[in-house]
Amino acid sequence: MEEWKLKTESPEETMQLAEKLAEIVQPGDVITLEGDLGAGKTSFTKGFAKGLGVKRVVNSPTFTIIKEYKGRIPLYHMDVYRMEDEMEDLGLEEYFYGEGVSVIEWPSMIPNQLPEDCLAISLFHLGETSREITVQTSGVRSLELLKELRYE
Ligand code: ADP
Ligand code: MG
Protein backbone atom coordinates (compact mmCIF):
# COMPACT_ATOMS: atom_id res chain seq x y z
CA MET A 1 0.00 0.00 0.00
CA GLU A 2 1.27 3.41 -0.91
CA GLU A 3 0.12 6.83 0.15
CA TRP A 4 0.47 10.32 -1.29
CA LYS A 5 -0.50 13.45 0.58
CA LEU A 6 -0.87 16.84 -1.05
CA LYS A 7 -2.56 20.15 -0.40
CA THR A 8 -4.84 22.12 -2.67
CA GLU A 9 -5.60 25.79 -2.14
CA SER A 10 -8.76 26.18 -4.22
CA PRO A 11 -11.67 24.16 -5.59
CA GLU A 12 -10.15 24.56 -9.06
CA GLU A 13 -6.90 22.96 -7.92
CA THR A 14 -8.81 19.98 -6.52
CA MET A 15 -10.75 19.69 -9.77
CA GLN A 16 -7.53 19.81 -11.79
CA LEU A 17 -6.11 16.88 -9.85
CA ALA A 18 -9.33 14.96 -10.50
CA GLU A 19 -9.20 15.89 -14.17
CA LYS A 20 -5.69 14.47 -14.43
CA LEU A 21 -6.82 11.24 -12.83
CA ALA A 22 -9.76 11.02 -15.23
CA GLU A 23 -7.36 11.10 -18.16
CA ILE A 24 -5.61 7.91 -17.07
CA VAL A 25 -8.46 5.72 -15.73
CA GLN A 26 -9.71 2.66 -17.56
CA PRO A 27 -12.90 0.58 -17.47
CA GLY A 28 -13.18 -1.28 -14.16
CA ASP A 29 -11.25 1.28 -12.11
CA VAL A 30 -12.85 2.23 -8.78
CA ILE A 31 -12.15 5.50 -6.96
CA THR A 32 -13.50 6.11 -3.46
CA LEU A 33 -13.96 9.57 -1.92
CA GLU A 34 -14.04 10.14 1.80
CA GLY A 35 -14.33 13.33 3.78
CA ASP A 36 -16.81 15.35 5.80
CA LEU A 37 -19.63 17.31 4.23
CA GLY A 38 -18.14 20.22 2.31
CA ALA A 39 -14.69 18.64 2.10
CA GLY A 40 -14.89 18.54 -1.69
CA LYS A 41 -15.98 15.05 -2.75
CA THR A 42 -18.54 16.31 -5.22
CA SER A 43 -16.18 19.04 -6.47
CA PHE A 44 -13.60 16.34 -7.09
CA THR A 45 -16.19 14.32 -9.01
CA LYS A 46 -17.09 17.36 -11.12
CA GLY A 47 -13.44 17.77 -12.13
CA PHE A 48 -13.19 14.07 -12.76
CA ALA A 49 -16.26 14.17 -15.02
CA LYS A 50 -14.76 17.10 -16.92
CA GLY A 51 -11.59 15.09 -17.50
CA LEU A 52 -13.69 12.26 -18.90
CA GLY A 53 -15.38 14.66 -21.29
CA VAL A 54 -18.78 14.45 -19.59
CA LYS A 55 -20.97 17.27 -20.91
CA ARG A 56 -23.79 17.09 -18.38
CA VAL A 57 -23.65 18.84 -15.03
CA VAL A 58 -22.66 16.49 -12.22
CA ASN A 59 -24.50 16.87 -8.92
CA SER A 60 -24.63 14.70 -5.85
CA PRO A 61 -27.07 11.90 -6.62
CA THR A 62 -29.50 12.83 -3.85
CA PHE A 63 -32.45 10.61 -4.53
CA THR A 64 -30.78 7.95 -6.56
CA ILE A 65 -27.74 6.21 -5.27
CA ILE A 66 -26.11 5.84 -8.65
CA LYS A 67 -25.97 8.20 -11.59
CA GLU A 68 -24.43 7.28 -14.91
CA TYR A 69 -22.79 9.81 -17.24
CA LYS A 70 -21.48 9.43 -20.78
CA GLY A 71 -17.85 10.35 -21.30
CA ARG A 72 -14.70 8.89 -22.93
CA ILE A 73 -15.79 5.89 -20.87
CA PRO A 74 -18.97 5.84 -18.74
CA LEU A 75 -18.82 7.39 -15.28
CA TYR A 76 -20.79 5.72 -12.49
CA HIS A 77 -21.17 8.25 -9.70
CA MET A 78 -22.38 6.70 -6.46
CA ASP A 79 -23.28 8.50 -3.28
CA VAL A 80 -24.15 5.87 -0.72
CA TYR A 81 -24.60 8.32 2.16
CA ARG A 82 -28.33 7.72 2.35
CA MET A 83 -28.05 3.96 2.45
CA GLU A 84 -30.36 2.84 5.20
CA ASP A 85 -29.01 -0.63 5.61
CA GLU A 86 -25.37 -1.34 4.92
CA MET A 87 -26.21 -4.96 4.23
CA GLU A 88 -28.56 -4.06 1.42
CA ASP A 89 -27.06 -5.47 -1.74
CA LEU A 90 -26.96 -2.70 -4.29
CA GLY A 91 -25.66 -4.94 -7.05
CA LEU A 92 -22.63 -2.72 -7.41
CA GLU A 93 -20.45 -5.43 -8.93
CA GLU A 94 -22.25 -4.92 -12.17
CA TYR A 95 -20.83 -1.41 -12.22
CA PHE A 96 -17.38 -2.22 -10.81
CA TYR A 97 -16.73 -4.78 -13.49
CA GLY A 98 -18.58 -2.87 -16.19
CA GLU A 99 -17.45 -0.70 -19.07
CA GLY A 100 -16.92 2.41 -17.01
CA VAL A 101 -15.14 3.92 -14.03
CA SER A 102 -16.84 4.11 -10.61
CA VAL A 103 -16.56 7.01 -8.19
CA ILE A 104 -18.03 6.31 -4.76
CA GLU A 105 -18.75 8.98 -2.17
CA TRP A 106 -18.99 7.68 1.44
CA PRO A 107 -17.42 4.23 0.86
CA SER A 108 -17.35 3.66 4.64
CA MET A 109 -21.12 3.06 4.45
CA ILE A 110 -20.60 -0.09 2.38
CA PRO A 111 -17.31 -1.65 3.56
CA ASN A 112 -18.37 -5.14 2.51
CA GLN A 113 -19.37 -4.21 -1.02
CA LEU A 114 -16.16 -2.56 -2.14
CA PRO A 115 -13.70 -4.24 -4.48
CA GLU A 116 -10.31 -5.04 -2.96
CA ASP A 117 -8.32 -2.84 -5.26
CA CYS A 118 -9.53 0.76 -5.28
CA LEU A 119 -7.84 4.13 -5.28
CA ALA A 120 -8.96 5.67 -1.99
CA ILE A 121 -9.00 9.45 -1.83
CA SER A 122 -9.76 11.39 1.33
CA LEU A 123 -10.26 15.10 1.57
CA PHE A 124 -9.70 16.93 4.79
CA HIS A 125 -10.89 20.48 5.46
CA LEU A 126 -7.86 22.55 6.55
CA GLY A 127 -9.29 26.02 6.03
CA GLU A 128 -11.78 27.97 3.92
CA THR A 129 -10.12 27.06 0.64
CA SER A 130 -7.40 24.64 1.60
CA ARG A 131 -7.76 20.89 1.70
CA GLU A 132 -5.37 18.07 2.49
CA ILE A 133 -5.84 15.25 0.03
CA THR A 134 -4.62 11.73 0.74
CA VAL A 135 -4.45 9.18 -2.05
CA GLN A 136 -4.08 5.55 -0.97
CA THR A 137 -3.60 2.39 -2.95
CA SER A 138 -4.77 -1.12 -2.10
CA GLY A 139 -3.60 -3.23 -4.99
CA VAL A 140 -1.67 -3.48 -8.23
CA ARG A 141 -4.01 -1.37 -10.33
CA SER A 142 -4.50 1.45 -7.83
CA LEU A 143 -0.73 1.61 -7.36
CA GLU A 144 -0.32 1.97 -11.12
CA LEU A 145 -2.85 4.80 -11.11
CA LEU A 146 -1.14 6.59 -8.23
CA LYS A 147 2.24 6.39 -9.94
CA GLU A 148 0.85 7.80 -13.18
CA LEU A 149 -1.07 10.53 -11.39
CA ARG A 150 1.91 11.54 -9.35
CA TYR A 151 4.63 11.64 -11.95
CA GLU A 152 2.67 12.81 -14.92
P1 ADP B 1 -18.78 17.24 -0.41
O2 ADP B 1 -19.29 16.54 -1.63
O3 ADP B 1 -17.56 16.59 0.18
O4 ADP B 1 -19.84 17.45 0.63
P5 ADP B 1 -18.65 19.61 -2.06
O6 ADP B 1 -17.71 19.33 -3.17
O7 ADP B 1 -20.11 19.52 -2.34
O8 ADP B 1 -18.26 18.68 -0.80
O9 ADP B 1 -18.37 21.04 -1.45
C10 ADP B 1 -17.07 21.52 -1.23
C11 ADP B 1 -17.14 23.04 -1.11
O12 ADP B 1 -15.89 23.57 -0.69
C13 ADP B 1 -17.46 23.69 -2.45
O14 ADP B 1 -18.32 24.78 -2.24
C15 ADP B 1 -16.09 24.15 -2.94
O16 ADP B 1 -16.17 25.26 -3.78
C17 ADP B 1 -15.41 24.51 -1.63
N18 ADP B 1 -13.93 24.45 -1.65
C19 ADP B 1 -13.13 25.42 -1.19
N20 ADP B 1 -11.85 25.10 -1.31
C21 ADP B 1 -11.80 23.86 -1.87
C22 ADP B 1 -10.71 23.00 -2.25
N23 ADP B 1 -9.40 23.31 -2.07
N24 ADP B 1 -11.04 21.79 -2.78
C25 ADP B 1 -12.34 21.45 -2.95
N26 ADP B 1 -13.39 22.24 -2.62
C27 ADP B 1 -13.14 23.44 -2.08
MG1 MG C 1 -21.15 15.45 -2.04
* ipTM of the complex in this document: 0.98
CB 35 within 8 A of CB 124: yes
Q: Which of the four pLDDT bands, split at 50, 70 and 90, describes residue 61?
A: low
State in Å: Cα 123 to ligand 2 middle: 11
Nearest CA to ligand 1 atom 7: 42
Nearest C-alpha neighbor of 82 from the set 61, 102, 51, 113: 61
Domains, the chain: 11-82+94-123+134-141 (3.40.50.300)
- pLDDT band for 85, please (50, 70, 90 cuts): low
Residue 62: nearest ligand to its CA?
2
Q: Is the pLDDT of residue 20 over 80?
A: yes
Check whether 86 has a pLDDT greater than 90.
Answer: no
Q: By percentage, how much of the chain surpasses pLDDT 70?
A: 93
pLDDT score for 63: 64
Q: Are 3 and 132 in contact (CB under 8 A)?
A: no
Q: pLDDT-based confidence at 19, cuts 50/70/90? A: very high
Q: Give every CB contact of residue 93 below 8 A, 6+ residues apart in sequence.
A: none
Instruction: Look at residue 151 in the predicted model and tell me its pLDDT.
Output: 85
Can you list the alpha helix ranges (DSSP code H) found in 61-104? 93-96
CA of 40 to the centre of ligand 2 (A): 7
* Ligand 1 site, residue 41, Cβ cutoff 6 A: yes
Q: Is the CB of 43 under 6 A from ligand 1?
A: yes
**If you measure from the C-alpha of residue 105 to the centroid of ligand 2, how many angstroms do you get, rounded to a whole number?**
7
User: Alpha-carbon distance 69 to 54, whole Å?
Assistant: 7
DSSP conformation class of 113:
G
Confidence of residue 74 (pLDDT cuts 50, 70, 90): very high
